[in-house]
Structure 1
Amino acid sequence: MRETMALFGTGLTVVTGMSGDGPVGFTLQAFSSLSLEPPLISLNVARSSSSWPRIVESGRFVVNVLAEGQDDLALTFGTRGTDRFGEVEWTRGSSGLPHLPGCMAWIECNLVATYEGGDHLIAVGSVRDLIEGTTRRPLIFFDREFRKLQ
């Protein structure tokens, strides 16, 4: 399964939020638009994530859509046991949630539902705000490597 699914190229995101301990976030590949009316997105989050339960506490999160050249952010937020926010610059969006600079877009959401999905959770977010960045060059992940569009 892992070998075959690696052949499906995707964009990369970092999901961020605020917990009682401060900012929290993790790299996520399994993100998609779910509905235009009402505006909903879905995330597939590993049950083993230690960051997701901290984000769930507030019920709000941001999907930071990574741009070409942000491989370092994907790696930083994908590494367990590190002070992820101690290693990167970030700002607070208008909602007070963490935004990572240089992203293609920021999608601010309220968590509306979570469903069981094997070793993952399927989370549904209601879109509160959409902010577009200035770049249109996505960071792509295909066959276990970061790629660029030609």
Structure 2
Amino acid sequence: MSELQEIPADATGLRSAFAAFPSGVVTVCAEIDGVRYGLAVSTFVPVSLDPPLVSFCVQNSSSTWPRLAQASHLGLSLLGTDQQDAARSFGSRTGDRFAGVGLRRGAGHAVFVEGASAWIEGSVHAQVPAGDHQVVLVHIHRLATRADIDPLVFHGSRYRRLHSEELRPAG
């Protein structure tokens, strides 16, 4: 069994440590004045049941987020295991992020990615500056889930699937 090794708390070390924690892959999309905007976000986290809030982080350097932040409603799509291509596309800084991606309209400006394991429709509740990112709190207005689609997971700088294991009661 290997032991933990201390590494520098610089950008390289932080990326390595953060890669040890799995996260879901989430897109944020909207259509404003006939133009679609979308991006993949990091560190999506459920925050509160009352009021219903989730959060995600987006880089300050993003040229897409300032446009999305103006939307009346955002469409958050929690991508499914078969959506690795969409995840790569929305995570890219160049090209048409929506190429080959099926979409569905929500309320206001919200746009969702077809085939996702869950959709959350909401509006920006607050933004908090946090170093080189913004922490965005989203107030949830509507949501939908699909039990038959497992979530896409990002871990160790790779897309992965969850492994299901039947848990047995102790004793």
Structure with more contact order per residue of length (Cα contacts < 8 Å, sep ≥ 6): 1
Which category describes the TM-score, using the shorter chain as reference length?
over 0.9
2:104 is matched with which residue: 91, 111, 134?
91
Aligned to 2:11: none
In 2, Cα distance between equivalents of 1:108 and 1:49: 21
TM value normalised by structure 2: 0.82
Structure-2 change in CA distance of 1:127 and 1:64 (3 Å): same
Please tell me whether Structure 1 or Structure 2 has the larger radius of gyration of its CA atoms: 2
Q: Which amino acid aligns with 1:80?
A: R
The match for 1:119 among 132, 139, 142 is 132
Deviations for 1:79-107, whole angstroms, at most 9, x for unmatched residues? 11212124422121254521111100100
Query: Which residue of 75, 81, 86 corresponds with 1:62?
Result: 75
| 1:94-144 superposed Cα distances (whole Å, 9 cap, x missing partner) | 545211111001000111111100000011111000111242411111100
Indicate the SS of the match to 1:54: helix
Partner amino acid, structure 1, of 2:78: V
Matched pairs, number? 150
**Deviations 1:46-100 (CA, angstroms, capped at 9, x unpaired):** 1111111111112421110011111001001111121212442212125452111
Could you say which residue in structure 1 is the equivalent of 2:19?
A: 6
Q: Is the 8 A contact 1:139 1:146 kept in 2?
A: yes
* Residue 17 to residue 36, structure 1, CA distance change in 2 (3 Å): same
List gaps (5 residues or longer) in structure 1: none
| Distance in structure 1 (CA, Å) of the matches to 2:47 and 2:99 | 33
Structure 1 partner of 2:156: 143
RMSD of aligned alpha carbons: 1.5
